Amino acid sequence: MMQQPTLSHQKTRAFQPHKLSAPRDFIVPTIINEIEDNVPLLLEIGAGKGKHALSFATQNPGKQLIAIERTRNKFEAFAKLATQQNVDNLNAIHADAIAWIVHAIAPRSIAKIFILYPNPEQHNPNQQWLNMPFFEFLLSRLKVGGEVVLATNIEAYMDNAAQQASAVWCLPNIRHHVPIDSERTHFEVKYLARGETCWELTMRKPEGYKTRFDDWHASNVKDKI
């Protein structure tokens, strides 16, 4: 029998999803409840103007991508392009990602999560994704074997993320340099053109992984497991 991992994050302050209200005008996308079991569902947090989301969805027609952006002007540019390109396996969402995920995403339903070039929060490190109690909830929405892909051009951010992934979240992870010809996001293009080094951290959810939210659902979320 496989031994379950020791999860040091169980000793951290717990996220409290029940205290979050649903975003304004919240509607669960139809695809979440109607997606077929053999179609992977992916999530991008902080999609910006949608460069990665549009490219990924176009290149991966057999996968469904939900891409969330909070900033209005960026989202409006993203939504306009998504409408023009008519990519039917992409859902562009204008919302705060944390509240939206709490109210829309079921446990163990996401195959991969992209967090590409997030705000480094250098003056408020508690708001960095892997330092937040919400990260445990996010992992509960990930399928076994699913991945979280984080990219940044801030070495200190990556150092902390890699340390947290191993020591706090007990996730197998691989860190590497982003290729200099990569063009996933507008930020990535800009940083690499300036000769900066960009890093990527890929974290995998192992078999037997447990969180405190594996059975937690918002009232409107349907669990297909």
DSSP string, 9-46: GGGSPPP-GGGPPPPTT----HHHHH--TTS-EEEEES
- Average pLDDT, integer, range 26-44: 88
Query: What CATH number is given to the structural domain containing 50?
Result: 3.40.50.150
Does the residue 138 lie in any domain?
yes
Does the residue 220 lie in any domain?
no
- Count of structural domains, the chain: 1
Does the residue 18 lie in any domain?
no
120 CA to centre of own chain:
15
**Domain extent for 88:** 39-204
- Average pLDDT, integer, range 51-58: 97
Does the residue 173 lie in any domain?
yes
Does the residue 218 lie in any domain?
no
Rounded Cα gap, residues 145 and 210, in angstroms = 13
161, pLDDT greater than 70: yes
pLDDT at 6: 44
Does the residue 22 lie in any domain?
no
Does the residue 106 lie in any domain?
yes
- Average pLDDT, integer, range 44-73: 97
- Average pLDDT, integer, range 187-214: 97
pLDDT at 35: 83
222, pLDDT greater than 80: no
Does the residue 1 lie in any domain?
no
- Average pLDDT value for the chain: 92
pLDDT in tens, 90-135: 999 999 999 999 999 999 999 999 999 999 998 999 999 999 999 9
Comparing 219 with 191, which gets the higher pLDDT? 191
- Average pLDDT, integer, range 54-65: 97
